Amino acid sequence: MEQSTKEESIFEVSNFELKKYQKHVTNARTALFVIAGLMVLSGIISSFMQPSELLLDIWIEVLVVGGAFLVLAMVAEKKPYNALIAGLVVYILYIILYFVIDPSTIFRGIIVKIIVITYLIKGIINAGEIKDIKKMTGS
């Protein structure tokens, strides 16, 4: 009898077991897409409210920051743990940067900020669980 190159695990992980964790990871990934979308929306709104001399600066910021969240959301499909941690760090740093520039921004959209951060943290925790299960079972 020939033995396969991949060792069989004594643990059997059902798709149902992983799906309960995957739901939170998917929600966190969606939160990254939402942040990217909100960046574009804020860029559009800022374009109408700010002087025309700032348009280039506004759109560079939107493209860089929004693009970063878009890329992280796409990477989160294959490497959710790392992408979600990076997304949370970038999002918190972005909030802190704007707080330093204008302290009143900390309260603008506070509910959305809390919801996004909560989704990202839950996603990170569950992505870590999936990663641990896969490591333990050799999947």
- pLDDT of res. 15: 63
Residue in 89, 64, 85 with CA at minimum distance from that of residue 76: 85
Report if residue 43 sits inside a domain: yes
Q: Round to whole Å and give the CA distance between 125 and 21.
A: 9
Report how far apart, in Å, the C-alpha atoms of 11 and of each of 20, 35, 90 are: 18, 38, 36
Q: What is the pTM of this model?
A: 0.82
Q: For the chain, what is the domain count?
A: 1
Contacts of 73 (CB under 8 A, 6+ apart): 29, 30, 32, 33, 36, 83, 87
- pLDDT of res. 45: 92
**Which segments of the chain have a pLDDT < 70?**
1-17, 139
Report if residue 3 sits inside a domain: no
Tokens of 96: 């802190």
Report if residue 16 sits inside a domain: no
Domain that includes residue 30, residue range? 23-137
- pLDDT of res. 132: 86
- pLDDT of res. 134: 80
- pLDDT of res. 139: 64
Report if residue 121 sits inside a domain: yes
Report if residue 36 sits inside a domain: yes
Report if residue 72 sits inside a domain: yes
Instruction: Determine the distance from the C-alpha atom of residue 92 to the mean position of all C-alpha atoms in its chain, rounded to a whole number.
Output: 11
Tokens of 89: 């760090």
